[in-house]
Structure 1
Amino acid sequence: MKTILKYNFSFLLLLITLVSCSTEEKKSQTKADTRVNNAPNIILFVSDDHGTDAIGAYGNKVIKTPNLDQLAAEGVRFENAYCTSASCAASRSVILTGLYGHATGSYGHVHDYHHFSSYDNIKSLPVLLENSGYETARIGKYHVAPESVYHFQKVLEADPRNTVEMAEQCKDVLNSDKPFFLYFCTDDPHRGAPFESDPWNLPNSFGNKKEGYNGVETVTYDPKDVVVPSFLPDSQESREEIAQYYQSISRIDQGFGKLMKMLKDTGKDKNTIVIYISDNGMAFPGAKTTVYEPGIKLPCIIKDPLANIKGGSVNNALISWTDLTPTILDMADISYDSNDFHGKSFKKIMGEENPKGWDEVYASHTFHEITMYYPMRVVRDKNYKLIRNIAWRQEYPFASDLWAASTWQEVYRSEKEYFGKRKVKDYLFRPEFELFDLSKDPDESNNLANDANYTDVLEALKTKMKAFQKETKDPWLITWDHDNSLQGTGVNL
């Protein structure tokens, strides 16, 4: 009898436990379902080689970007947003992981024989969002690998030079019953193939076509009207290429406008966070593939209708593309371990013009093409910026499209002394350290590294750079006094 009672009591305890667990699971699931149902949609719109030099909202009075300007009028414009590497694939890996490329194996280009690829244990933004109930979709330029790391549930197809067509292909995603993450990546305004013109002084097309694109109004610019950035030579060749660059950007703007109209038509615009950025600066020598300001200081415009931030706000915080993944997760109210990312969320300071504690940023470039080994590390602390050219003894290597650019060839073929405000020899042959005071020298033309008056500044920034490399497990830490503290045994255990 006692045995029977004992078994019955044990069974009752088990039944109570199972019911209790089931109830808790249902509560947890209900809570998760509620969070997912209330989660904001997210659109991350990434252009290819677009600098702050060519957006109306950033001060260019010539270029026509009414839709991007409207986004800035309704959202927040960041004045000091930085990619970490001015190279397409390397930069995109950072955008989608919150980690510097030197820590993930994403050292340079993915395609063709370059074949750089992220480690297979990396957890990317789309995967983290999918695991939290989001529908994830991408369209346009991908340029990261492997697919298992950067997995999206839906891959949409369209001409990546026709952003209007791209927007139209996103209709089903915008009407999704689940919260969605749309990764919208154009090929514009990247230089167009073929890179070499015949004759050499013809401007690159930047993807523009005489016949235009279906659904897109062709917006052209007169070379005499364009704004030539100070780091470029003010030549006919430069002006003609900038005019083509502007035309490509106006095509982006129309597609962006189309996407925003479609979003509004769904009624989801009040619950959708929209982020506009670029992967790196304009595809001209002195910008793309460099860590000078035109290469890494980029547009970042964010509209978060749930954040109650005044439209037209300006934020002067120094932010990095390593901050994007944790910020987006934070916006989506998805919990994460902050130690999993090199960046940090800037969600809470978006509405502040001059937030405290956001006055430092780092950059890390190693490759563009595999033949372009030229590792550079950067620290910017307030107005001081230090660049370390690790391979400074070799000539600065050119990206194939930038070498062929008529803007460069005009200077090269004429054997001119200057390219913009820099001497050609100084652009090609750089010292190990370049130190600039950006408040007095925004063009980065006066290197203070050998000035005795700035010895303390130089040493302080070197210390910060070493600490950054150690903290982010940068293999190139070894180039400081053969420091091999990050190197393993060479044996897989």
Structure 2
Amino acid sequence: MTIKLEALKFSILVTLAFLFVSCSNDKKTEIKTEESDKANIILFVADDHGTDALGCYGNPIIKTPNLDKLASEGVRFTNAYCTSASCAASRSVILSGKYGHATGSYGHVHDYHHFSTFDNVKTLSNRLTEAGYLTARIGKYHVAPEKVYLFDEVLEADPRNTVEMADKCKDVINSEKPFFLYFCTDDPHRGHPFKPEPWDTPNTFGNKKEGYTGVNQVTYNPENVLVPEFLPDNKQSREEIAQYYQSISRIDQGFGKLMGHLKEAGKLENTIVFYISDNGMAFPGAKTTVYEPGIKLPCIIKDPTKSKKGTTNTARISWVDLTPTILDMVEVDYEEKDFHGKSFENIIDKENSEDWNQIYASHTFHEITMYYPMRVVIDENFKLIWNIAYRLDYPFASDLWAASTWQATYRNEEEYFGNRTVQDYMFRPEFELFDLSKDPNESNNLAKNEDFSDVLESLKSKMKAFQLKTKDPWLIMWDHDSSLQGTGVNL
């Protein structure tokens, strides 16, 4: 009797154990299935690439077939803006959804610049890790501290060789978990040495005579390149633009390689792909300025769930909108108050949206020696720039000052640099007001034109409201209102 009872107990325990394991496996299968249904995200960020140098944005000279294909399969935004035309400051906004003036990301993070994001900021990568994503980054990082911008995996490759970078991402792409890949090139940033000898040697923009493994060299004749109006059309500009183009064509090949790996993994149809840049081309008049060539950037998005392909979207979006947009795309919950930006997920496949006609920009530093805070509001056709430190000379990034494009003007004591006088470029007024519909090159400052006084005051009011809402310390410069200033005591 005792033996039978023990046998019965054993049988019940075995059955319960089987049911527990079976239920656990079912639960695991359910979780795995749920995770596998989530879309993957690739956020591809170039370094200093403007809208001036992409075939799909109207340049007939440059060869960017893979990025042009992405535009034909997705949507191309024509009014997309970074918030600060400086690498580190811009990248902090991309990954946090907040303006740098509110997170402590005032400028460059590396070396003696030492700007860093506050510890309590919760970024995109951390949020996606919590949501079950494999998060990985490769290439340029340029944000800090790491615990705020944490990724599960850090991949190593030459950030100038996007083909090599793409190959290093194969394991991430083939992951069983949904993945977020933050793919950041060093191209087409200016390359070392920044100060050439002789002075009129064009910068290489990372190009090498021997080329890069796996990359086909695509070179350009300086006579054929397109010189934007804000640059002088001379030998030096053309030679440097040719090098810039070559660097971008290398990006394009790596992007094509990455899409090839995505196709081989069978994940083209459940991966959302973004192509953006951190700021405009690394030439005086673009990078480090808040003029259109510095902050108006390429943004191409391919979302396989959207029905329309090859469309153009004129909505004004900003990099501060990227994090909430991506979280909406992959259905990860968040509080709207967590971000300064707002999601544009529901307008991606629309060509126009009346509610998306206003953006703000906030630049304070590039290098630590380049203190020149500027705030921007664009509302409909009008753009207001507030040069808060207008009494200072406009500071140059060290690599832009040494650029042969600038030095040709400086050494020859030319009156004009592109469509601006050197005097106007070096010494800015407190306010610059432009009608972008009639003056896209921002040549005619309307700030002191009485006919536009109402527009000026309206935009000033909007700018103040923006600064108050986003807790911008530089709000104090309007009327010395110290309401946003801290106590100096850690509580």
Q: SS state of the match for residue 386, structure 1?
A: strand
Q: SS state of the match for residue 299, structure 1?
A: strand
What is the alpha-carbon root mean square deviation over aligned residues? 1.4
1:302 corresponds to which residue?
301
The reply to whether residue 260 of structure 1 matches residue 246 of structure 2 is no
Q: Deviations over 1:420-459 (max 9, x none)?
A: 0000000000000000000000000100000000000000
1:120 corresponds to which residue?
119
How far does residue 311 in structure 1 lie from its aligned partner after superposition? 1.3
How far does residue 26 in structure 1 lie from its aligned partner after superposition? 11
Q: SS state of the match for residue 217, structure 1?
A: coil
Q: Deviations over 1:390-430 (max 9, x none)?
A: 00001000000000000000000000000000000000000
Partner Cα separation in structure 1 for residue 78 and residue 53 of structure 2:
14
Where do residues 249-328 of structure 1 align in structure 2 (5 Å cutoff)? 249-308=248-307, 310-328=308-326
How far does residue 164 in structure 1 lie from its aligned partner after superposition? 0.2
**Matched-pair contact (CA < 8 Å) for 1:89–1:109:** yes
Query: CA distance change for structure 1 residues 478 and 237 in 2, over 3 Å: closer, same or farther?
Result: same
How far does residue 202 in structure 1 lie from its aligned partner after superposition? 0.7
TM-score (norm 1): 0.94
Amino acid at match of 1:186: T
The reply to whether residue 395 of structure 1 matches residue 393 of structure 2 is yes
The reply to whether residue 478 of structure 1 matches residue 471 of structure 2 is no
Where do residues 420-435 of structure 1 align in structure 2 (5 Å cutoff)? 420-435=418-433
TM-score (norm 2): 0.94
Query: CA distance change for structure 1 residues 204 and 353 in 2, over 3 Å: closer, same or farther?
Result: same
1:85 corresponds to which residue?
84
Where do residues 123-138 of structure 1 align in structure 2 (5 Å cutoff)? 123-138=122-137
Q: SS state of the match for residue 214, structure 1?
A: coil
Where do residues 460-471 of structure 1 align in structure 2 (5 Å cutoff)? 460-471=458-469
Partner Cα separation in structure 2 for residue 203 and residue 28 of structure 1:
61
- Residue 329 of structure 2, aligned match among 328, 331, 356: 331
Query: CA distance change for structure 1 residues 120 and 26 in 2, over 3 Å: closer, same or farther?
Result: farther
1:439 corresponds to which residue?
437
Give structure 1 stretches of 5+ with no counterpart: 1-24
- Residue 490 of structure 2, aligned match among 475, 479, 492: 492
Query: CA distance change for structure 1 residues 265 and 472 in 2, over 3 Å: closer, same or farther?
Result: same
Query: CA distance change for structure 1 residues 296 and 338 in 2, over 3 Å: closer, same or farther?
Result: same
Partner Cα separation in structure 1 for residue 63 and residue 435 of structure 2:
32
How far does residue 492 in structure 1 lie from its aligned partner after superposition? 1.9
Q: SS state of the match for residue 181, structure 1?
A: strand
- Residue 375 of structure 1, aligned match among 367, 373, 387: 373
Partner Cα separation in structure 1 for residue 37 and residue 225 of structure 2:
45
**Matched-pair contact (CA < 8 Å) for 1:74–1:312:** yes
Q: Which consecutive segments of 4 or more residues in structure 1 shift more than 3 A?
A: 25-35
Query: CA distance change for structure 1 residues 264 and 432 in 2, over 3 Å: closer, same or farther?
Result: same
Amino acid at match of 1:456: D
1:19 corresponds to which residue?
none
Where do residues 21-420 of structure 1 align in structure 2 (5 Å cutoff)? 34-308=33-307, 310-420=308-418
Partner Cα separation in structure 2 for residue 28 and residue 427 of structure 1:
64
Amino acid at match of 2:283: F
Amino acid at match of 1:193: H
Q: SS state of the match for residue 84, structure 2?
A: coil
**Matched-pair contact (CA < 8 Å) for 1:138–1:155:** yes
1:9 corresponds to which residue?
none
Partner Cα separation in structure 1 for residue 249 and residue 232 of structure 2:
23
Partner Cα separation in structure 2 for residue 34 and residue 145 of structure 1:
35
Q: Deviations over 1:323-359 (max 9, x none)?
A: 0000000000111101100001101001111112000
Partner Cα separation in structure 2 for residue 307 and residue 26 of structure 1:
34
Partner Cα separation in structure 2 for residue 274 and residue 381 of structure 1:
29
2:21 corresponds to which residue?
none
How far does residue 35 in structure 1 lie from its aligned partner after superposition? 3.9
**Matched-pair contact (CA < 8 Å) for 1:138–1:182:** yes
Query: CA distance change for structure 1 residues 490 and 28 in 2, over 3 Å: closer, same or farther?
Result: farther
Amino acid at match of 2:76: R
Query: CA distance change for structure 1 residues 108 and 27 in 2, over 3 Å: closer, same or farther?
Result: farther
Partner Cα separation in structure 2 for residue 466 and residue 487 of structure 1:
15
Partner Cα separation in structure 2 for residue 381 and residue 35 of structure 1:
42
Amino acid at match of 1:48: D
Q: SS state of the match for residue 287, structure 1?
A: coil
Give structure 2 stretches of 5+ with no counterpart: 1-23
Partner Cα separation in structure 2 for residue 435 and residue 364 of structure 1:
16
Partner Cα separation in structure 2 for residue 143 and residue 27 of structure 1:
43
- Determine what percentage of the aligned residue pairs are the same residue: 74
How far does residue 483 in structure 1 lie from its aligned partner after superposition? 1.3
**Matched-pair contact (CA < 8 Å) for 1:36–1:132:** no
How far does residue 485 in structure 1 lie from its aligned partner after superposition? 1.2
**Matched-pair contact (CA < 8 Å) for 1:80–1:298:** yes
Partner Cα separation in structure 2 for residue 271 and residue 177 of structure 1:
13
